[in-house]
Chains A and B, each alone.
Chain A
Amino acid sequence: MLRFFLSRIGQTLAVLLTVSVIIFVLMRLIPGDPVLMMLGDDFTQEAYQQLRAKLGFDRSIVTQYLIWLQAILRGDLGDSYLNHERVSRLVWEAFLPTLSLVVASMLVGMLVAVPSGIVAAMRKNSAWDWGSMGFAIFAYSMPSFWKGIVLIWIFSVHLGWFPAVGYVHPWEDVWGGTWRLVLPAITLGTFFSGLVARIIRSSLLEVLDQDYIKAARARGVRRAALVYRHALANALIPVVTVIGLQFGALLGGAVLTETVFGIPGMGRLTVAAILNRDYAIVQGAILVGVVAVVVVNLVVDLAYAFLNPRIRVA
């Protein structure tokens, strides 16, 4: 077990290192001189040389990478080119709304997926099965940004039940914050629910086919008890993996969803920074997003190993 944990953590560190190299190289490929961008229009040659030296741009590319890496490890993502704010603070402030959207979407997704996956598996090939699997395909095929607009049109414009845009941290204003998150979470959560419902259906069907279930059935255990008491716990284990695999997709979807609902998250920060050519923010935001994905995957893998002892040996 310990060996599995350690090797998995080692792999994660290797991936993080590669990710940092990829982001560093990408940002160096951007045409234009970042020092000029930071200085703006009005500067002296001396100031230019000074800033260049301060940022380490006069050294070799490898040294520059190492300087940058050291700074990141200290939690220093540099300063915004435009208003010289700390990038780490800007990114952190944008990360919280995005993260609460992702978590809320997972909750909504599970609330829909678990019952519909169970029903589909228990009544395989019935109208219920076809209905919930048809819904699942639509749910993950609908582009999140379009779904969000349709939901705003129906529930905000027509029915007036929810505010169309805006965000408050749910932990600062429990009721108002949660209320504002409902539509965005449904928007993003239906995508997740579609995938999870399909996984639950197929893994439940697989588990129901195993010998211990057949034995229980032979003993006369009722079908509902069979599913809830004997099969479901095992069938839900693969869902844990899906959470890991889909966390990245959810984060990407959140970037689009929050644009629709005017949530001041990572997506808005990054896109605004790209349009302003403020690459310090672009770099910091992308780095933090990818690190979050990698870390969640590590945690999920370790949790999976914990839940499913068979994997530890592999």
Chain B
Amino acid sequence: MARPLDVEALPAQAPVAAMAAPSVGTARRWWRRFARNRGAVFGLGVFLAVVVMALFADVLAPYDPVAQGVGPANEAPSRAHWAGTDSFGRDLLSRIIYGARIALAVGIVAVLLAMVVGVTLGLVAGYYGGPVDAVIMRVMDGLFAFPIIILAIAMMAVMGFGVKNVIIAVAVGFIAPFARVTRADVLAVKEEPYIEAARLAGVSGPAIIARHVLPNVLAPIIVQAALRVSGAIITEAGLSFLGLGPPPPTPVWGSMIAEGRNFIVMAPHVSTIPGIALMVTIVGLNLLGDGLRDTLDPRLRR
């Protein structure tokens, strides 16, 4: 079976010297394919902007995001407050900029956490098969049946509020998809002759999984991760909107939208402007994810 990433597997089998050239060429070819996709480049731009906002929030934000009364309450956007102020007279732009931190932290950390757990389970289930596989995958089927936001709500009920718990709650919902994608590819890869050869040479199971199986199933996993970050951010925003996210006065986009709801008649900007930040981020991440999928894993292209 021809696999797009076979070159990536070579370091485990071929001399290093033979490797350098193809991998640089591959990266360049990927970049060219990626750069042709205008939506994906736009998505990358949005993603980088959000990263910059999150990293340099303390430099970029004109005001303290939790300081009350830095302006009049519910003031429409003005020169002093580009995005206006909320009902506590806090500067919305500063809160949006700081909000990028939590959105991005939850989005990325939750997906990484889900990836580590899900991929490990998928590798073990796919490689060993039998009862181990059956038990792991039945549990995954059970988790998969939960709508992600509902599972996250249930987890918040169990763990209580706070940023760390939000990350865990969101991550749990994404474990099953990672496990499924990984297992499916492991099943294909483990029939390859070089796996058989390693096994006959007496290499242990965990070593084969780590050095020979994992590198060959990585592409779809990376694509999966890129596609899931936006879902994780939306889930966090949803939890915060319901009042189950990080407690106030933490600047979180979801709670900002919820707080503004009560002032929709007199001060619609309080709710709508943070929503625009959230939406642009999600659109960007979705376009970026689609672009990465088409670049790295053309099999999945729709």
A and B interact physically: yes
A198 partner residues in chain B, CB cutoff 8 A: 302
Chain A stretch 177-225: residues in CB contact (< 8 A) with chain B:
198, 202
State whether A145 touches B244 (Cβ < 8 A): no
For B287, what are the chain A residues with a Cβ–Cβ distance below 8 Å? 137
Given A14-B138, A143-B279, A23:B154 Cβ within 8 A? yes
Residues of B contacting A29 in the complex (Cβ-Cβ under 8 angstroms)? 158
Q: Does B215 contact A (CB under 8 A)?
A: no
Q: Contact between A15 and B286 (Cβ–Cβ < 8 Å)?
A: no
The answer to whether B257 touches A149 (Cβ under 8 A) is yes
Shortest CB distance A241–B (Å)? 14
Please give, as numbers and ranges, the residues of chain A lying within 8 Å of B146 by CB-CB distance: 19, 22, 248, 286, 290, 293
> Is A141 in contact with B286, judged by CB distance below 8 angstroms?
yes
User: CB within 8 Å of B: which of A274-300?
Assistant: 274-275, 279, 282, 286, 289-290, 293-294, 297
Residues of A within 8 A of B147 (CB): 248-249, 251-252, 289-290, 293
A268–B273 Cα distance when bound, in Å, is 25
Against A, the Cβ 8 Å flags (1 = close, 0 = not) of B150-178 are 10011111100000000000000000000
Task: Please report the C-alpha to C-alpha distance between residue A215 and residue B138 in the assembled complex, in whole angstroms.
Answer: 46
Contact B148 A252 (CB under 8 A): yes
Q: Is B153 touching A270 in the complex (CB atoms < 8 A)?
A: yes
In the complex, whether A256 has a CB less than 8 A from a CB of chain B is yes
B264 within 8 A of A: yes
A residues less than 8 Å from B154 (CB atoms): 23, 26, 282, 286
Which residues from 280 to 302 on chain B have a C-beta closer than 8 Å to any C-beta of chain A?
Answer: 282-283, 286-287, 302
> Once the chains are docked, how many angstroms separate the CA of A259 from the CA of B237?
14
Contact size range, A? 35 or more
Chain B residues, CB < 8 A from A143:
234, 237-238, 241, 257, 275, 278-279, 282
Indicate whether A146 sits within 8 Å of B142 (C-beta atoms), given known contacts A26-B154, A289-B150: no
A91: CB under 8 A from chain B?
A: no
The answer to whether A290 touches B150 (Cβ under 8 A) is yes
Inter-subunit contact B149/A256 (CB<8 Å): yes
The interface residues of chain B lying within 8 Å CB-to-CB of A289 are: 147, 150
User: Does A239 have its Cβ within 8 Å of any Cβ on chain B?
Assistant: no
Q: Are A255 and B150 in contact (CB under 8 A)?
A: yes
Say if the beta carbon of A152 comes within 8 Å of chain B. yes
In Å, the complex CA distance between A72 and B145 comes to: 18
On B, residues with C-beta under 8 Å from A are 39, 138-139, 141-143, 145-150, 153-158, 230, 234, 237-238, 241-244, 254, 257-258, 260-261, 264-265, 268, 271-272, 275, 278-279, 282-283, 286-287, 302
Instruction: Identify the A interface with B (CB < 8 A).
Output: 11, 14-15, 18-19, 21-23, 26-27, 29-30, 137-138, 140-143, 145-146, 149-150, 152-153, 157, 198, 202, 248-249, 251-253, 255-256, 259-260, 267, 270-271, 274-275, 279, 282, 286, 289-290, 293-294, 297
